[in-house]
Amino acid sequence: MLQSSEAFVGNAAKGMADAGLQRALARAKPQFAKKRQAAVDRLPEFEALRDVAAGIKDHVIGNLDYYLGVYADAVARSGGVVHWCSTAEDARAAVLQICRDAGAKRVTKGKSMVTEEIGLNDYLEANGLEPVETDLGEYILQLRREPPSHIIGPAFHLNREQWEESFRAHHKDLNPERVFHERRDILTEARGILREKFLTADVGITGANFLIAETGSSVIVTNEGNGDLTQTLPRVHVVVTSIEKVVPNVEDCLALLRVLARSATGQDMSVYTTFSTGGRQVGDLDGPEEYHVVLLDNGRSGMVGTEFQEMLRCIRCAACMNHCPVYGAVGGHAYGATYPGPMGAVLTPMLQGIESAGHLPNASTFCGKCESVCPVKIPLPKLMRHWREREFERHLQPAAMRYGLGFWAWFAKRPAMYRLGTRAAAWGLGLLGRKRGFFSTLPLARGWTGTRDFPAPEGDTFFAKYAEFVRNK
Amino acid sequence: MSRDAIMGAIQRGLKRGPLPTDQQAMLAARMAAHHRHLVPARGQLDLAGRIALFAQYVEREFGTVARLENLQAVPGAITNYLAGQNIAPSIVVSPHPELEKIPFMDKPMLQVRYGVASAQDAVSLQHAFAGVAETGTLVLPSGPTRSTRNNLLPDTAIVLVHAADIYACYEDAFDRLRQAGGMPRNVMLVTGPSRSADIEQTLELGAHGPRRLHVLIIDGPG
């Protein structure tokens, strides 16, 4: 996809001014949090399971080379083929070659963030194939030529009128006078159109939520059933996935599944959780004849052993963005990257470089909510802080910011002076702003007052108040 | 070669070469032991409790449940269910030996075809390998007697499960699958009918898979 993380600041402002997006966010945000909490409340073991899940992922990362080797051997034993790919280019080329060898024209796709990461659709299209997204949300985005704005609810930013408008514009064979009375009519139309695509596709591409080393299985999780139709009906099934998705055995996978759906959609279990192992076996009534796994690295191996290693635990549930106040204000497109929100703010600089993605780890209030809901306990604020440090070390921020930070650091390292200074400022600003209670402009603070008022301090600093509290105790 | 490059980068990160053979053996033993992690207590009930919880969760996830005495009751139950939903009495049935024993001739109005669903089939009957009480989940493996298409293409999926095959947790079902010969090509864990909330975060049933999931629990033997 087109990366535009450099433009985050401008994009964020655009997102906040977009009335349609704000309507969608207002609708979705409370739902995400409420549903997850309800699922967590229904399972007393949930908190303990988060530790189990994090432990499994750490165990895998510490032995990642071994488990990948075992996995690849198991895939080969089941009759499948693993295509190891260091880069996005390698992965795109591998998928195209498989499609060409299969003489494919039409390719159906289940939802896969890794195929977004490698920009697969544009590439296949440029090479004469017809990739068709079959997840309902991904399908409308493909019609509208938009990237997903969320990793599990890719089109939640769209409103009903936009769905209807796009369907009318693209489904030209249908009666133009038709009326969409309710949402279900939109769904039914998409079901009819995509059913035809499922039945006539030559190759089906899915992602994988997990790869099981012992058995060589890939696991997908969907609610629509589109992933299953994609991988069951065509002659060739291609799994496009990445190296950190491997787990040792089924039991490890089940433990992770118990936290995945609850964290993602607030379901106890998604509707379809499917384990695929190789191609059609002797006597099987259906299923693909060929089974391929395009196994992507794209910078992940370079995270092992670094301060960003914990990010490899991520199981892509989206709980972090669902609970993020920044994501909730600006939406997913503002990030200009495949992966938005807190997990994206850590992953994107790894995938595309901190030079262009530096804004993302800075787009956080460090409120810590993301870490508190993460099913595999990734310390996201800490990892974002590491990126800020790297950015500072490499002199990537503007000079004014560096001088400002330097000045503040000098001041902060001298506590007596710092307290006196802040106390004087609080007192002075309190006095000046007493009448109105806020400032609409302040010297050196245009970044703040340009878009909102600055509240006038009501009294003393925290330190002074605390000292007073201790004295009176 | 990419494989060597990826493995090399991981090993550099882990600050070691390939894992020593004794440690490889330890990890292989861990994998083969199929140690269970924390399993939620809620499914750990006696058989009656498991059946009740299974049925409750199927219904909570928008499926429907009928409890039947034995296979003889199946044709009548299916005929009644389809009539109640106003669906034509025609079904495609997976060629499972259990399902082949069902006396469909008792209901001549019901058109029955054993085999694999095509796009025209509106109703399927599948045989579940197991049910899981923990979340009301059906375990549907592929194989010579069970078609995966039958779980997906028809608008209405009817699934038969024996009460005795309803387990506390997924782990129990996978143990049984291993005893039955290992991982089939495809294993679907199905919890309720197909759905999507992609349009304005509002749940609609019947996205691409079945709109209706009807589960027949057979209490008695055979």
Task: Assess contact for A116 and A110: CB atoms under 8 A.
Answer: no
Residue A445: CB atoms within 10 Å: 11
Task: Assess contact for B36 and B170: CB atoms under 8 A.
Answer: no
Chain A interface includes B35 (CB < 8 A) = yes
Q: Using only C-alpha atoms, what is the Rg of chain B?
A: 21
State whether A254 and B34 contact (CB < 8 Å): no
d(CA A455, CA A437): 6
Task: Assess contact for B24 and A105: CB atoms under 8 A.
Answer: no
Mean pLDDT of A183-196: 95
pLDDT above 80 (res B222): no
Query: Crossing angle, helix A380-393 and helix A341-352, to 10 degrees?
Result: 40
d(CA A69, CA B68): 48
Chain A interface includes B86 (CB < 8 A) = no
pLDDT above 50 (res A36): yes
> C-alpha distances in angstroms, A367 versus A324, A328, B88, B133, B221?
9, 13, 57, 38, 58
- Report the DSSP pairing between strands A272-276 and A217-222: antiparallel
Taking Cα atoms as reference points, which of B145, B87, B89 lies closest to residue B116? Answer: B145
Give A337→chain B minimum CA distance, Å. 21
Mean pLDDT of A237-254: 98
Q: Is the pTM value of this prediction over 0.90?
A: yes
Domains of chain B, start order: 1-33 (no CATH), 45-218 (3.40.50.10420)
Q: Which tens digits make up the pLDDT trace of B176-189? A: 999 999 899 999 99
| Confidence at A438, pLDDT banded by 50, 70, 90 | confident
d(CA B197, CA A155): 10
Q: Which of A45, A198, A251 would best serve as a mutation to test chain B binding (most B beta carbons within 10 A)?
A: A251
DSSP β-bridge partners for residue B189:
A273, B139
DSSP A213-279: TTTTEEEEEESSSHHHHHHHSSSEEEEEEEGGGEESSHHHHHHHHHHHHHHHTS-SS-SEEEEE-SS
**Taking CA A422 as the corner, what is the angle to CA A419 and CA A423, rounded to the nearest 5 degrees?**
80
Residues 100-129 of B with CB under 8 A from A: 115-116, 119
> C-alpha distances in angstroms, B79 versus A191, A252, A325, B163?
27, 42, 53, 21
Q: Is A279 left (phi over 0), alpha (psi -120 to 50) or beta?
A: beta
Tell whether ipTM is more than 0.85: yes
Task: Assess contact for A332 and B43: CB atoms under 8 A.
Answer: no
Task: Assess contact for B149 and A286: CB atoms under 8 A.
Answer: yes
> C-alpha distances in angstroms, B139 versus A270, B135, B161, B170?
13, 12, 9, 9
pLDDT above 70 as % of chain A: 99
pLDDT above 80 (res A3): no
Residue A443: CB atoms within 10 Å: 7
Per-domain residue ranges of chain A: 43-301, 319-393, 399-472
Chain A interface includes B29 (CB < 8 A) = no
Chain B residue closest in CA terms to A68: B7
Chain A residues touching B121 at Cβ < 8 A: none
Chain B residue closest in CA terms to A87: B2
Q: What is the token pair recorded at A113? A: 């963030």
Task: Assess contact for B209 and B193: CB atoms under 8 A.
Answer: yes
Q: Which tens digits make up the pLDDT trace of B21-69? A: 999 999 999 999 999 999 999 999 999 999 999 999 999 999 999 999 9
Q: What pLDDT is attached to residue B44?
A: 98
d(CA B29, CA A225): 35
Indicate the class that CATH gives domain A43-301.
alpha beta
d(CA A262, CA A362): 29
d(CA B83, CA A238): 41
**Which residues lie below 8 Å from residue B88, measured CB to CB, with a gap of 6+?**
B82, B122
Task: Assess contact for A342 and A380: CB atoms under 8 A.
Answer: yes
**Which residues lie below 8 Å from residue A422, measured CB to CB, with a gap of 6+?**
A461, A463
> C-alpha distances in angstroms, A74 versus A82, A218, B18?
10, 11, 19
| Confidence at A1, pLDDT banded by 50, 70, 90 | very low
Q: What is the mean pLDDT of chain B?
A: 97
Query: Crossing angle, helix A250-264 and helix B170-179, to 10 degrees?
Result: 150
H or E stretch at A175: none
Q: Which of B199, B211, B213, B215 would best serve as a mutation to test chain A binding (most A beta carbons within 10 A)?
A: B199
State whether A302 and B13 contact (CB < 8 Å): yes
d(CA A122, CA A129): 10
Pick A249's closest partner by Cβ from B18, B31, B38.
B31
Q: Which tens digits make up the pLDDT trace of A377-404? A: 999 999 999 999 999 888 888 888 888 8
A103-107, A252-256, A334-338, A439-443: segment of lowest average pLDDT: A439-443
Task: Report the sign of the C-alpha dihedral through residues A176, A132, B153, A226, in that order.
Answer: negative
Mean pLDDT of B151-162: 98
Q: Which of B185, B187, B188, B190 would best serve as a mutation to test chain A binding (most A beta carbons within 10 A)?
A: B185
**Which residues lie below 8 Å from residue B179, measured CB to CB, with a gap of 6+?**
none
| Confidence at A211, pLDDT banded by 50, 70, 90 | very high
Q: What's the N-to-C CA distance of chain A in angstroms?
A: 60
Chain B residues touching A297 at Cβ < 8 A: 2, 5-6, 9
pLDDT above 90 as % of chain A: 81
Helices vs strands, H then E, count in chain A: 23, 12
